[in-house]
Amino acid sequence: MNTDSINSYIEKNFSEKRKIHTEGVRKTAVRLAEKYGADPEKAEVAALFHDMYRGVPVNALNYYVKHLGLDKRYMDNCNLAHGKIAAIIMKRDYGIEDPDILNAVSFHTTGRAGMSLLEKIIYIADAIEPSRRYPGVDELREAADQDLDLACLLSLEHTIEYVKSQDSFLDEDTLLARDDLRGLREKEKENG
C-alpha cells in the first residue's frame, strides 16, 4: 500500500506532538507485527491512520458522527469518535477495504471482543509507543515483548480503572475486550 497520501495529510494537519506519537505508534506496530507474525505493512498503514481525526475540534467530530451515521454515543466524545471516523474515511476517501486494517483503526481506543492479531498490535502500540509517559507504561512495554494478549489485558484493565476513577463514559467494547482476553487466558491455563 502506498502511504504517501496519509504521510502528506499527517505533515499538513498534525501537531508536532501528534506527529511524534504517530511515528512512535508506527515503529512500535511494525516491530510488534514482525515479532508476532502479523503483516508489517498493514500494521504501518493502520498506525499511520489511527489518530487521523484525533486533534479535530469537537464540533467537527460531531458533524462527522452525524453525517457518517455513527451512534449518538460518539457525540461530544473525541476519544471514542476519532477512530470510528478515521476507519470510515480510510475506506471512503483512501480506498482501503481490508477489514482487519479498518477494525484495527476503529477499535484502537476501546479494543473489542475477538480482536485480531493486528487489532491487538495497534491497540497496544498506541498505549506503549516511546513518547507515552504514565504510571504502568513500562510494565506494559515489558509485557508486550513477552505476551501480546497479557499486555492488551493489562492495558484494558488500566483503562477501565482510569475511566471509572474519572467518572467518565466507559465503552462496552472495552469491557467485552477485557472479558474476552480473560477467557482466552483461562482456557490457555486449562490446556496447560
- Note the Cα 99 to chain centre separation in Å: 14
Rounded mean pLDDT of the chain? Answer: 95
Q: In the chain, what percentage of residues exceed pLDDT 90?
A: 91
**pLDDT for res 191:** 86
Q: How many structural domains does the chain have? A: 1
Which among 91, 177, 85 has a CA at the least distance from the CA of 127? 177
d(CA 5, CA 101): 16
Mean pLDDT of 81-85: 97
Contact of 29 with 46, CB cutoff 8 Å: yes
Please state whether the predicted TM-score (pTM) of the whole model is above 0.85.
yes
Q: What pLDDT is recorded for position 189?
A: 85
What's the rounded mean pLDDT across residues 17-33? Answer: 98
What pLDDT, in 10s, does the model give residues 145-190?
999 999 999 999 999 999 999 998 899 999 999 999 999 989 888 8
Say how far apart CA 6 and CA 93 lie, in whole Å: 11
Structural domain span for residue 159: 4-190
- Whichever domain contains 122, its CATH number is 1.10.3210.10
Count Cβ atoms below 10 Å from residue 112 Cβ, excluding itself. Answer: 18
Cα diameter, the chain: 51
Q: How far apart are CA 107 and CA 182, in angstroms?
A: 18
Using one digit for the tens of pLDDT, what is the confidence trace for 85-125?
A: 999 999 999 999 999 999 999 999 999 999 999 999 999 99
Helices vs strands, H then E, count in the chain: 10, 0
- Overall average pLDDT of the 42-56 stretch: 96
Q: Closest Cα to residue 163, out of 174, 177, 176, 147?
A: 174
Q: What is the mean pLDDT of residues 41-49?
A: 97
Is 80 exceeded by the pLDDT of residue 2?
Answer: no
Cα pseudo-dihedral 57, 61, 64, 66, rounded to 10: -130
pLDDT band at 28 (very low <50, low <70, confident <90, very high): very high
CA distance 47 to 45: 5
For 6, 46, 52, 123, 139, the CA distances from 9, given in Å and listed in that order, are: 5, 14, 8, 22, 33
pLDDT of residue 31: 98
Q: Residue 62 has what pLDDT?
A: 97
On the question of pLDDT at 192 being above 90, the answer is no
Among the listed residues 48, 78, 41, the one whose alpha carbon sits nearest the alpha carbon of residue 62: 78
The cell 488500566 sits on which residue? 158
